[in-house]
Structure 1
Amino acid sequence: MTHDVFNQVPPHTGHDVSADPALVEGLRRECADWALGELRGLGTLAGSARAQEWGRLANDNPPVLRTHDRYGNRIDEVEFHPAWHDLMAVAVEHGLHAAPWAAARPGAHVARAAKFYVWSQVEAGHGCPVSMTYASVAALRHSPALAAEWEPLLESRSYDFGLRPASAKRGVLAGMAMTEKQGGSDVRANTTVAEPLADGTYAITGHKWFNSAPMCDVFLVLAQAPRGLSCFLLPRVLPDGTRNAMRIMRLKDKLGNRSNASAEVEYEGATAHLVGEEGRGVRTIIEMVNMTRLDCVIGSACGMRLGVTRAVHHATHRSAFGRPLVDQPLMRNVLADLALESEAATAVMIRLAGATDKALRGQTNEGALRRTALAAAKYWVCKRAPGHAAESLECLGGNGYVEESQMPRLFRESPLNGIWEGSGNVAALDLLRSVAKEPDNLDAFFGEVDQAKGADTHLDTAVREAKDSLTDPATLEYRARQVVERLALVLQASLLVRHSPPAVADAFCASRLGPERSLAYGGLPPGADFGAIIERAETKII
């Protein structure tokens, strides 16, 4: 023995991930407190060493593409480590996928958002097929006959992996394929074609540069039909058991999200079914995209929560220069600042899930709010995630830079939600187009924000500035990011002022909206209640 091992931080396990004050309070506000019991069970599993080991193994053993069997037959199968299937089974069993669509209970989509947020802290990659399956139902409902056929399987809580006809499975998962080599976000530049056949189906021929979750059972695909770009439902296996002509060319070698398969595919006359009307593919699939954009916000909020809890845990158990890190003023400032960002992301995530739930139940004003607020949050919350992950990692020092800490995995994952479903520019411009076409959307947005009017002078000033920033249309597109950032911040601040403790709301408004804003984390004013803010970010061992 050359030395004793001491002053090392114990594993961050044995806690309830759902014991998150901002999350629990949000569920109660949005009529989903009935789900708290199941959420606690899922949170306890998420905080266990067993589940965290699943996450590690799934990332250390990424999927492998098998294009052919031993006899030379084309199979296009993706193999996963057993840990991936463990993660997926829990997600599906708890209804993180399409189960809320079958629920008549108010708050069903909020409860699902909370569970997605909690369980994704174990491992983010497997959230992709879960999210796609959830979102696919919104688009499928443009074709009631297809929805009637596929929804029961999509909503099933049975995880049934493997390529078989849908009729032989207890549950199915859905993916999506929109972008092509030459187009990216400009899907109207797609060249993949859909030829109508005599039996009412279509033959799809072409390619997709990004196919999300190619191991799924069915996909929503965009292709050029005789009347223009259209949306199609394309199954992997046909009813007679034969493989559809969808060829997986290779899996993407990605920065992060390594446990999940993303692929380049080609179609050689693949059989597909029209969803919605011919020529209205973007309008149809945008229903799915808006749902996955919500999950991008949830995913970024989830990553922030994971980062700050890991940072606080480390600082609580690690000492330097004679005292615990968590007691040192500058570290307290950094931790509290990270906690503010996390809580603001969680608050807006829950509000958007509530607006989604209410809009689906026919509340028009909630739908108008969602159309503007979702674009703002998709831009800003996802944009803040990488910097937050980097600062959280830095709180662990060199220990955070090694793979065993799991912080590098969080850092690699952090940019993804900002790219998925439209990068920052796309989200910002979508918001401007939305309010230009439907001014009522902006009225609904400020109607929400103005509920906190008079409670904080920084917020009142920022709201006036946000409204003024929309009055010069000649330069609006150039300023889109600045405008949308301010809209997102006033929404977050309004939610915190109304629903969070004064320590949180006051510090957020002063540091994000006040005249002495800091560009780096750790710039909170000396009068902030660091202790109260950090305490809300702590995880308690069960």
Structure 2
Amino acid sequence: MASDIRVTTNQAPPLVGHNVVTADAALVEAVARHAAPEVVDDIAPIGALAGTAEGREHGMLANEHHPRLTPYDRYGNRIDEVEFHPSWHWLMERAVGQGLAAAPWESDSPHAHVRRAAGFMAWSHTEPGHGCPISMTYAAVPALRADDALAKEWTPLLASLSYDPGVRAASGKRGALAGMGMTEKQGGSDVRANVTEARRTSVDGEYTLHGHKWFTSAPMNDVFLVLAQAEGGVTCFVVPRVLADGTRNRLDVVRLKDKLGNRSNASSELEFEGTVAHRLGDEGRGVRTIIEMVAATRLDCVLGSTSLMRRAVNEATWHTAHRSAFGSLLVDKPLMQNVLADLAVEAEAATALAIRLAAAVDDIADPHEAALRRIALPLSKFWVCKRTPALVAEALECLGGNGYVEESGMPLLYREAPLNSVWEGSGNVNALDVLRALGREPEVLDAWITEVGRARGGDVRLDRAIEDTLALLGSLMGDPASLEVNARRLAVRMALVLQGSLLVRHAPAEVADVFCASRLGTSYDGVFGTLDGGDLRAIVDRATPVTA
């Protein structure tokens, strides 16, 4: 009997109707461990909405309909406005309303940053691009604390749960978003090479800026933290989009970048020529002033990359659980199980580390937590962001040709995967920052040793890896000529040991066993699907989403 070619068979159903929070055992356990079960309940609605067909559709539409720059209005007035698709605003409204921007800084909850981190990871399943302005808004608040008056002016608006887009004075808005402008054409990560000039005005603390910023995302945000050269050196400034009297500050949007990755977010070049700015912190202390913003955005790089991993693993495990080939489901094939389990272990290790970092922010007054954050942030930013492109590529391959078409959502994840290794310092910058922390702040090594030491005795491979890593560090510190060239090697080992310690202490035995056997040995080649033994099916089942 001939089959009807119009009827599709052996295709996985759409991955919708699942709660991306409660269906993720690793995330639920990490949040309950570092916060409380009630926090899981609190963010469950975020996970439910992120797993809907509606959320997925808005994410696709926001990327299909790119932002559009309008430099002039119909009368020839310079307006420099960027128009976004309604789906962008739908995503932003819910992200802000769910407290994923700067709300944790004004919260009385002892677990506000863990809640926000888990919610940020879950909501990013809808679409990663709009996480950029959300992240910058979150990160701006600790930097603003360098000036009490500026912090009091902006923090309540940035921490608001109201999304209020539009070019208007801050005094007339229910909520605000922040951006940052550091990178210039000639400098990149070397911000001390910036040439944008800051000139004093007759008003105390006020300057005008003159120069060009090479990358400034979300140019429609309400306020920007910008680095420029003042008489005393590189200085941080607060630049409002609209001045207090309602006139538009001069932020000329030169163009929107045609970039790799998401297309929903507008990345731009800005020119300043007489742009009004307010000094934040002392002249010449700009890097130190903005470093807290950098630290917070680095955390979000880890959260964002982990979210990409989690979404990719969800798609791969879901597809293989419903797709048959050569007589059985793909997920039942031993080699496919090996690949999927390897991907799932990587995503779980990233999840455990990401939530642990957020917990350190919640308890930053504790000296151990502060020191651990200092060393673990660049370690995690380096390693988790480096692993994401390889993981997403392997997950895409699990879907075969179906994963190569835009409707699957996998191409967007693949294009987006390298982003966080570039943003807020490339891999080299973060690896070198690890060396800088170890060389200047001895307490950070003590914090790392204490943290990983909490798992001593739990796995002999982890114990050996701790000793080997300390021996590597000792040999490098004793040979300054080889220190920098081996910075990545050291960062990889320290990050893996930190992940391993968390999994040995908290993950199911099968997950910790596979991680230690593969990642902490000497023969791991980094290729997914080369695990040797372990309860692979249990690991895959743990990572496979369940729909309602």
Q: 1:70 aligns with which of 66, 71, 74?
A: 74
1:33 Cα offset (Å): 3.2
1:532 Cα offset (Å): 1.4
**Contact 1:32-1:108 within 8 A present in 2 as well:** no
Q: 1:233 aligns with which of 224, 238, 247?
A: 238
1:222 Cα offset (Å): 0.2
**2:110 aligns to what?**
106
Q: TM-score, normalised by structure 1?
A: 0.98
TM-superposition CA deviations, 1:381-425 (whole Å, max 9, x none)? 000000000000000001100111100000000000010000000
Is 2:119 aligned against 1:115? Answer: yes
**2:139 aligns to what?**
135
Q: TM-score, normalised by structure 2?
A: 0.97
1:517 Cα offset (Å): 1.8
1:2 Cα offset (Å): 3.8
TM-superposition CA deviations, 1:314-334 (whole Å, max 9, x none)? 000000001000001000000
**2:225 aligns to what?**
220
Q: 1:171 aligns with which of 153, 163, 175?
A: 175
**2:326 aligns to what?**
321
Q: Distance between the aligned counterparts of 2:104 and 2:300, measured in 1? A: 14
Q: RMSD over aligned Cα, in angstroms?
A: 0.9
Report the 3-state secondary structure (helix = DSSP H, G, I; strand = E; otherwise coil) of the residue aligned with 1:375. helix
Report the 3-state secondary structure (helix = DSSP H, G, I; strand = E; otherwise coil) of the residue aligned with 1:11. coil
1:453 Cα offset (Å): 0.8
**Contact 2:142-2:293 within 8 A present in 1 as well:** yes
Report the 3-state secondary structure (helix = DSSP H, G, I; strand = E; otherwise coil) of the residue aligned with 2:384. helix
Q: What amino acid maps onto 2:545 in structure 1?
A: T
**Identity rate, percent:** 59
Q: Distance between the aligned counterparts of 2:329 and 2:306, measured in 1? A: 27
Q: Distance between the aligned counterparts of 1:266 and 1:515, measured in 2? A: 50
**1:310 aligns to what?**
315
Is 2:207 aligned against 1:202? Answer: yes
Q: 2:374 aligns with which of 327, 347, 371?
A: 371
**1:511 aligns to what?**
518
Is 2:383 aligned against 1:380? Answer: yes
Q: Distance between the aligned counterparts of 2:358 and 2:342, measured in 1? A: 25
1:173 Cα offset (Å): 0.1
Unaligned runs of 5+ in 2: none
1:188 Cα offset (Å): 0.3
TM-superposition CA deviations, 1:37-84 (whole Å, max 9, x none)? 231111010000001000000010111111000111000000000000
Q: What amino acid maps onto 1:196 in structure 2?
A: R
**Contact 2:96-2:162 within 8 A present in 1 as well:** yes
**Contact 1:206-1:267 within 8 A present in 2 as well:** yes
Q: Distance between the aligned counterparts of 1:468 and 1:252, measured in 2? A: 45
1:514 Cα offset (Å): 2.0
Equivalent residue pairs, number: 539
Is 2:263 aligned against 1:258? Answer: yes
Q: Distance between the aligned counterparts of 1:470 and 1:518, measured in 2? A: 22
**2:435 aligns to what?**
432
Unaligned runs of 5+ in 1: none
Deviation larger for 310-319 or 13-22: 13-22
**Contact 1:32-1:111 within 8 A present in 2 as well:** no
Report the 3-state secondary structure (helix = DSSP H, G, I; strand = E; otherwise coil) of the residue aligned with 1:301. helix
Report the 3-state secondary structure (helix = DSSP H, G, I; strand = E; otherwise coil) of the residue aligned with 2:8. coil
**Contact 1:176-1:213 within 8 A present in 2 as well:** no
Q: Distance between the aligned counterparts of 2:36 and 2:97, measured in 1? A: 18
Q: 1:493 aligns with which of 477, 490, 500?
A: 500
Report the 3-state secondary structure (helix = DSSP H, G, I; strand = E; otherwise coil) of the residue aligned with 1:273. strand
**2:397 aligns to what?**
394
Taking a change above 3 Å as real, the CA distance of residues 445 and 69 of structure 1, as seen in their structure-2 partners, is same
Q: Distance between the aligned counterparts of 1:29 and 1:398, measured in 2? A: 39
Report the 3-state secondary structure (helix = DSSP H, G, I; strand = E; otherwise coil) of the residue aligned with 2:274. strand
Q: 1:81 aligns with which of 79, 85, 88?
A: 85
Q: 1:11 aligns with which of 11, 14, 23?
A: 14
1:6-45 equivalences under 5 Å are: 6-19=9-22, 20-45=24-49
**Contact 2:139-2:292 within 8 A present in 1 as well:** yes
1:32 Cα offset (Å): 4.2
